[in-house]
Amino acid sequence: MTSLAKCSLLFLLCTVFFSCAPVRKMESVRSGAYAPGLALAEDVHTPDVPVERLLSDTMMIKDAEGRDLIIMKAVRDENGDMVASDVIAPSVVVASFRNVAERLGKVDLRFDINVPADLTDSRWQLRLSPVMHIMGESVELDPVFITGKRYRAAQLRGYERYARFIDSIVTDTTLFIRKNDLELFLRRNLPDLYAFREDSSRVSDEQWRSAFGVTGEEAVEHYTDHLRKRMNARKLGRKEKMFRRYVKAPIRTEALRLDTVVVAESGDITYAYVQTISTRPGLRKVEIELEGGVFEEDREMCRLPSPGMLTFYISSLSSFAEMRERFLTKVVSRRVEANTSCYIEFAAGKSDIREDLGANAPEMGRIKRNILDILEDDKFDLDSVVITAFASPEGAAAANRELALRRAGAASAFFSDYTSFLIDSLGIAGDIPTVDFVSHGGGENWRLFGTLVEKDTLIAPAELETIRAKMDLSDYDAREASLRQLGCYAHLRKNIYPRLRMVRFDFHLHRKGQVKDTIHTTIPDTVYRAGVKALQDRDYEHALELLLPYRDYNTAIAFVSLGRNHNAMDILQNLDKTPQVEYMMALLYSRFGDDRKAVQHFLNACSADRNYVFRGSLDPEIAILINNYNLNLYDQ
């Protein structure tokens, strides 16, 4: 075999080998042999750190064309290419859950996204999207992109082609004018017009037309290359379409956590992801899973298998809340009153009760149900019912007083008979004393009249002022006579007066079995209970609103949870130094930067209650004390 044939065969074998390699790797990815990892970040005790500082391993750079790219902490290799420098051993964490502390209404979720070297390829882009599951909602977090060098080069070529297309669009419309032709025409045929070429700004359009029969705009339009102009306009209208044609996989710069260009495939990549969330009432846990795909050009070649779920259990200072009841002293009176009103319609000048008149049936049925409910109540006995009837103002006031009293008597007789019937039918005649019905006549119901008139939107303002003035008349007959002079009197008679003929029922009861007029008893403080419940649910603003008047330990916890540290300390300093108070003061002094006092109060809490030795690692403020001052020796 000649040397040339050997070289050709070697070249053919290399071509086949390298062309098949990506295919075999893609098959391995599809089979699940290579997959991204999701792990809890290394559990180190550190105080709260702003997210901006935690994300300092990313930076914005410019590519060769001056476009912005977001990459991981990176260096340039000997060829000048950007290479990810965070090729570190991933954190291997067996557990898939962790307790994390809430502080000031925020929680930092820290986890690592691990990409094995075998999962990367120069032609591919890995798009990894963490998904957060929180209280029944699924929220897609900012993605992480791992981009191969050839993939990025193809992207940049697309941008370059699109840039050339944009550069071909003419923005100066004067370039479409055939200026030489226009000038030659003017010089040969319109020398006087050509003389204006040096300073045409002083020549009005009217002067042009007057001198030469055409305007300057018409002359320019005649010597414009309309074909080129239309082609240029067509390009302008195709900008978006051409962008999609040339840039099949746009470089994403917004809502993106990381886009790093991988040149060498010599190691695994780990990205330390930090997501800060705001707590909400009832939040107990957050779950994170990872979704992703492998892309080549603009096509998704395959979906990546999920590496499993991470669970973060949210620990909160609300767990320190004292679950105790507060009680209020309540004075219970033996006698109780209840009242209601109904509108019983009477025939003009009559006082007899007719259930078939107007809306009397449902109104009187409601009073009957009230009486039945009271008689069947196992806490109260009915002593008496005071019935007061009122009349409307038409007619003489004296006659209306008598009429109202007769109507009250008629209502008393009617409901007294009904009550006796109920007592007999229920078989409780021996269990309650006789129920007395007392009749009162309320006369003309001017008080309700004034209330209804003020709320009536159909009465003109001027007439309303007149009515207010007439209400000062002490003589009711004179008052009603003056109302008859108003234009709205017909409205008053039809819509206001009938509502004044009401009957009020005042029920007088006493508590069964109670002899004393008043007794003192204790009942749970429902407001305080609701405040503690809001604290447990981490609804701190509402909890503080309810607990603030009590200024006790739970109030302090609400203050601490909201970051109002000095308010919390003012309360804690005046409380008995229980272990929980000592621990909370240690936490606050740590926030104030007074480590000496913080350590002392922490040790006091641990001396009284060993549980606080283990609790300290969950709270960043205490954890940093334990770490800095080797307080874990205290547990040995």
Return the CA Rg of the chain. Answer: 45
Dihedral sign, Cα of residue 603, residue 608, residue 611, residue 615 = negative
557: Cα separation from own chain's centroid = 24
Average pLDDT value over all residues in the chain: 78
Q: What is the pLDDT of residues 382-402, one digit of tens each?
A: 888 899 999 999 889 999 999
CB 505 within 8 A of CB 454: no
Q: Which residues is 509 bridged to in the sheet?
A: 336, 382
pLDDT for the residue 48: 38
Residues 293-336 pLDDT 10s: 999 887 888 888 888 889 998 888 888 888 888 877 665 565 66
Q: Which of 270, 277, 272, 273 is nearest to 133 (CA)?
A: 277
Q: Which two tokens stand for residue 134?
A: 């929180």
For position 189, what pLDDT does the model report? 57
User: Residue 54: is its pLDDT beyond 50?
Assistant: no
* Dihedral sign (CA 341, 344, 350, 354): negative
pLDDT band for position 53 (cuts 50, 70, 90): very low
DSSP 379: S
Phi first, then psi: give them for residue 283, nearest 5 degrees.
-70, 125
- Can you tell me whether residue 171 is helix, strand or coil? coil
Q: What residues are paired with 90 via a beta bridge?
A: none
Exposed / middle / buried, residue 629 (Cβ in 10 Å: 0-12, 13-18, 19+): middle
Q: Which residue do the tokens 């209601």 mark?
A: 340
Torsion of CA 570, 572, 575, 580, to 10 degrees: 180
Q: Determine how β-strand 269-278 pairs with β-strand 106-115.
A: antiparallel
pLDDT tens readout for residues 489-517 = 999 998 999 888 888 888 888 877 765 65
Residue 465 or residue 282, greater confidence: 465
Mind listing the pLDDT tens digit for each residue in 352-375? 888 888 888 998 899 889 888 888
Q: What does the pLDDT read at residue 89?
A: 32
Element containing residue 111 per DSSP (H, E): strand 106-115
User: If phi over 0 gives left and psi between -120 and 50 gives alpha, with beta otherwise, what is residue 597?
Assistant: alpha
Distance between CA atoms of residues 27 and 34, nearest Å: 10
Residue 450: pLDDT band with limits 50, 70, 90? very high
The percent of residues above 70 in pLDDT, for the chain, comes to 74
CB 635 within 8 A of CB 629: no
pLDDT-based confidence at residue 74 (cuts at 50, 70, 90): very low
User: How high is the pLDDT of residue 576?
Assistant: 94
pLDDT tens-digit profile of 535-579?
988 888 999 999 999 999 999 999 998 889 999 999 999 999 999
Strand partners, 144: 128, 258
Q: Who has greater pLDDT, 479 or 256?
A: 479
Six token digits for residue 425 = 């039918």
Lowest mean pLDDT among 57-61, 348-352, 627-631: 57-61
> How many percent of the chain have pLDDT more than 90?
27
Taking the whole predicted model, whether its pTM rises above 0.85 is answered as no
User: What's the pLDDT band for 2 if we cut at 50, 70, 90?
Assistant: low
Domains of the chain: 10-165+246-315 (no CATH), 329-445+501-519 (3.30.1330), 525-635 (1.25.40.10)
The pLDDT of residue 42: 65
Residue 633: pLDDT band with limits 50, 70, 90: low
In this model, does residue 13 exceed pLDDT 50? no
pLDDT of residue 378: 80
* Burial letters 424-442, b for 16+ CB under 10 A, else e: eeeeeeeeeeebebebbbb
Burial bucket for residue 77 (CB in 10 Å: 0-12, 13-18, 19+): exposed
Q: Which residues sit opposite 61 in a β-bridge?
A: 69
